[in-house]
Amino acid sequence: MPNHFVHPSSVVDDQCSIGKDTKIWHFSHIMTGAVIGENSNIGQNVFIAQHVVVGNNVRIQNNVSLYEGVICEDDVFLGPSVVLTNVINPRSTINRKDQFKKTVIRKGATIGANATIICGIEIGSFAFIGAGAVVTKSAPAYSLIVGNPGRQVGWMSEYGCKLQFDAMNKALCPESGQEYVLHDNTITRVK
């Protein structure tokens, strides 16, 4: 008896690893060799290719495709219709499977609805990619990226609140009260 849920309309190929309490909803396809952690939620019409790794407590909303080379660490949120690529210069008639680029989405990152992430980059821990952004280069941890092309316009807390730094380069998350320090364009959470 499986310890996860797969909707009857979905296809889960043999030799996938699906963690405890994960739910896979309508019309999704999980390919052989994919790894999905515990307590994750895979929305409607999601495609997860072979060798993709999805961590624990990941939320993938409807109409998202994760192609080979994508790694989502724990606690990642992918909004509806997020696009992740794996080849820089695709052509229909040229096989470039040997040129797949790895894209890593670090722990706690959020990617908003309809954002596009170009392959071969890293989205840092707790980074927040705004809806519709087109991200062409790596995003630092805790960064807020918006627009096309994506550009950094601020910093976010682990709770997803925009941080306002004072003259001492310190900020408090308005929701959690967590303290953050900005030094050399890097955020550190004060424990």
Shared domain check, 83 and 29: yes
Shared domain check, 12 and 103: yes
Which pLDDT score, from 0 to 100, does residue 2 have? Answer: 80
Which pLDDT score, from 0 to 100, does residue 169 have? Answer: 98
Of 96, 91, 121, 118, residue with least CA distance to 106: 121
Shared domain check, 183 and 129: no
Its sign, for the CA torsion 146, 150, 151, 155, is positive
The pTM of this model reads: 0.96
Burial readout 114-140 (b: 16 or more C-beta within 10 A, e: otherwise): bbbbbbbbbbbbbbbbbebbbbeeebb
Shared domain check, 56 and 130: yes
CATH for 85: 2.160.10.10
Shared domain check, 99 and 41: yes
Shared domain check, 124 and 106: yes
Which pLDDT score, from 0 to 100, does residue 1 have? Answer: 64
Shared domain check, 184 and 102: no
Q: Give pLDDT tens digits along the chain (191 positions).
A: 689 999 999 999 999 999 999 999 999 999 999 999 999 999 999 999 999 999 999 999 999 999 999 999 999 999 999 999 999 999 999 999 999 999 999 999 999 999 999 999 999 999 999 999 999 999 999 999 999 999 999 999 999 999 999 999 999 999 999 999 999 999 999 98
DSSP classification of residue 29: E
Shared domain check, 111 and 190: no
Residue position matching structure tokens 């606690």 = 75
Shared domain check, 121 and 33: yes
Which pLDDT score, from 0 to 100, does residue 5 have? Answer: 97
Which pLDDT score, from 0 to 100, does residue 152 have? Answer: 98
Range of the domain at 177: 164-191
Shared domain check, 33 and 16: yes
Shared domain check, 67 and 151: yes
Which pLDDT score, from 0 to 100, does residue 84 have? Answer: 96
Q: Is 97 in a helix, a strand, or coil?
A: helix
The total of structural domains in the chain comes to: 2
Contact at 8 Å (CB) between 74 and 92? no
CA angle 139, 143, 148 (to 5 degrees): 60
Tokens, residue 75: 């606690």
Shared domain check, 67 and 130: yes
Which pLDDT score, from 0 to 100, does residue 191 have? Answer: 85
